[in-house]
Amino acid sequence: MLRRNVTILFLLLLVPCVIMGQTTKISKVAQLHKISMTEDQNNLFQVSVSPLKLTGTPVGESIGLTTQYDYWTNCIIRDQIVYWHGPKFANMVRPYPLGATTTVRHIVYTERDSATGVYTSTDVFGGQAGYPDIDVERQGANIGTIGVVGHTPDKLAIWDGVSSFLITQYSAGDDPSLQFGNANIWLATSGVSRDQYQFWSSPDGAVFTNWDSISAFKSNVFWQANGSTELAISKSPDETQVVYYGVAAGSATLLYANYLGYPVDSCDNFFTVATTNSGTTWTPKKIEIDGVKGEVVGYPNFAPLVRNVSQVDLAVTNSGVVHAVANGAGYSFNATDTTWMFPVIYYNSTTGVWKTISNYAIDTMQVMSALGTPTAAGIAANRYGNSYPSVAVSENGKFVYVMWTGIQLTNGKIGTQDTATDGGNIVCLSDLYHTWSTDGGTTWAPVTVLAGDKTISECWGHTPQYLRYDPVQQKYVADIVYLADLAPDVSTVPGQTGAVTDNPIMYYAFPIPVTVINGVNDKNQVVNSFNLQQNYPNPFNPSTKINYTLPATSNVSLKVYDMLGREVANLVNATQQAGQHYVTFDASKLASGVYVYTLRSNSSVMSKKMLLMK
């Protein structure tokens, strides 16, 4: 923890700040799905989509806070959750305290006791603040120190390890981000006029040093003009790698220079600037340029539309491999027609290419462009389409997890239960979607729905930069915070209508359904033999997950029996491919007691017991 004399010096600081631009990148594979943009909305709402496997109703637990906001972030997906001896949150809450009549937003720090499960919350800045970023020191003498930055007014808060946060006000700045890194505090914000593109660090919060300005990398990151954009920072789990990332303004002469009357003047490339030696040297790199066709693997006619309402996120491994994701709303320019696309796109610095990891049928649903005015269709998709992706990696870089907010569907279609109205406009409910890779991002599991309750919009899902290894489950875990939005597009945000709702902030620990041997090291092995895992959680109420692996493609049966041998549930009865599988068992209609679940595949059989406690 920070020593008292160091933190007193820190309080005297006036911390200069920085910004970086924001750009998005996109990828997609296959031929464009042709749907006429002149169809009426009723027909559009009946477009068939390949059904995705639902994993259950709202997942997780409330952290004891609600907010009337319908959004938590802008361009950069900053960290709102870290895991250090339990999950720790920095969320934008409005109003606070709960039940207050004021509409002032606050940044509230919440932590969950790993032993008791009890949540405690603290108003970090004691007044107006928003759009937080949180981190924890993982190495060195100050291990365990918590830091939070907030926007409007721009402040930095560091936990003193005793009783409270120590707070300092920036001399000037906007949209701050921070990371701890081997006894350094790395800061980045934009200046008052959004033109101070500088890197700052501080050894233990005592003296901040200006390392460099983004203007030094003009030719490398395509920086030509100031823009209303943001900058974020990621670090490796061992804190040896520090990567600044964002988007910068460039030449407005590409495909979207003035698209549908919307000038693209602030976000023209997605860049990284990385250091491996605590800021002595930096390596800049463009990883995407706005409006360039063919950057996405398999999509020669597709070009991303990058604006400051686009969203990007990034994680970096101990070896320095960058994994990035972006909201890929854009246009495909064909010889016969022009088609909107809304993919989630993924990049890693090993391959140097972008590709899509979301569901193609959803990516190409033209109804998403109909949810907004023609000049704002891309913005509408940011809220209703595949949007706000978040990425996490394992320490060895083999496991990569991505989640995002997507459109709610029923049996592959947008039904009446999947929509609401706001001021006469159709509003689509949303779900949380996710996928993962066990080979460093080369191949990906089929996209599934993480949270898909039909009565609310699950949105703004976010996971920390790192996946946590759980030795009990022998699995990597994604710790997730998300909003259970009770009334989509109804909030205190100007321009929205209807009565506001107090929307619960939720936490969920999702175990990636792949068994891992040896924990967090480079010798991890994925098990691909016939194996039935113990359900988790166990005991459970009312739902639990059952994971299993298959050595080869086979006919699979997974059933649940009571202690008298009577079948109470038929969970799987299908042909499945080799590899990792899981299913959620909902026992809400069953009585408390011990049950047996049995997996059969060809000539192999395995059974385990589980305990339902209501």
Q: How far apart are CA 93 and CA 214, in angstroms?
A: 33
Interatomic CA distance for residues 173 and 286, integer angstroms: 25
DSSP 381-445: HHHHSSEEEEEEE-TTS--EEEEEEEE--BTTB--GGGEEEETTEEEE-EEEEEEEESSTTSS-P
Which residues of the chain does CATH 2.60.40.2550 include? 528-612
187-213 pLDDT tens trace: 877 655 444 445 566 654 545 566 556
Q: Using alpha carbons only, give the angle 205, 207, 212 rounded to the nearest 5 degrees.
A: 105
**CA pair distance 342, 324, nearest whole angstrom:** 17
What would the two tokens of residue 247 be? 């988007």
Find where tokens 């039935």 sit. 532
Percent of the chain residues past pLDDT 70, beyond the cut: 68
Residue 58: pLDDT band (50, 70, 90) is: low
Domain 528-612 has CATH 2.60.40.2550: yes
Of 459 and 368, more confident: 459
Cα–Cα dist 582/528, whole Å: 13
Query: Sign (positive/negative) of CA torsion 395, 396, 399, 405?
Result: positive
What mean pLDDT is predicted for residues 474-487? 91
CA distance 517 to 439: 15
Owner of token pair 């939720």: 506
Which tens digit of pLDDT belongs to each residue from 93-148?
Answer: 988 888 787 778 899 999 988 778 899 999 999 888 888 999 998 887 778 889 99
Instruction: Specify the residue for token string 């009549």.
Output: 101
Helices (H) and strands (E) in the chain, counts: 6, 45
Q: Centre a 10 Å sphere on the Cβ of residue 576 and count the other Cβ atoms it contains.
A: 16
pLDDT in tens, 493-510: 444 455 678 889 999 999
170 residue type, one letter: Y
- Per cent of the chain over pLDDT 90 is 27
Return the sign of the alpha-carbon dihedral for residues 185, 391, 342, 345.
positive
521-525 LR contacts (CB < 8 Å, sep 24+): 521/395, 521/396, 522/396, 524/394, 524/396, 524/398
- As annotated, the residues of the chain forming the CATH 2.130.10.10 domain(s) are 4-517
Residue 29 above 50 pLDDT? no
The pTM score is: 0.75
Nearest Cα to Cα of residue 273 among 337, 347, 222, 308: 222
Question: Dihedrals φ, ψ of 410, to 5°?
Answer: -130, 115
Q: State yes or no: pLDDT of 71 exceeds 60.
A: yes
Tell which phi-psi region holds residue 174, choosing left (phi > 0), alpha (psi between -120 and 50) or beta.
beta
How is residue 15 annotated by DSSP? B
CB 393 within 8 A of CB 467: yes
pLDDT category of residue 352 using cuts at 50, 70 and 90: very high
Distances 504 to 123, 169, 418 between C-alpha atoms, Å:
17, 30, 20
Q: Which two tokens stand for residue 363?
A: 């990516």
Strand partners, 468: 477
State mean pLDDT over 416-425: 69
Per residue in 556-566, pLDDT (tens digit) is: 999 999 988 89
Q: What is the dihedral of CA 271, 277, 280, 282, to 10 degrees?
A: -20
Establish how many alpha carbons lie within 13 A of residue 43's alpha carbon, considering only the half-sphere containing its beta carbon.
Answer: 7
Length of the chain: 614
Q: Which CATH class is domain 4-517?
A: mainly beta
- Per-residue pLDDT of 438-469, as tens digits, reads 999 999 999 999 988 888 889 889 999 999 99
What sign for the dihedral angle of Cα 28, 33, 38, 41?
Answer: negative
Q: Order across the sheet with 283-289: list the strands.
A: 231-235, 242-248, 269-275, 283-289
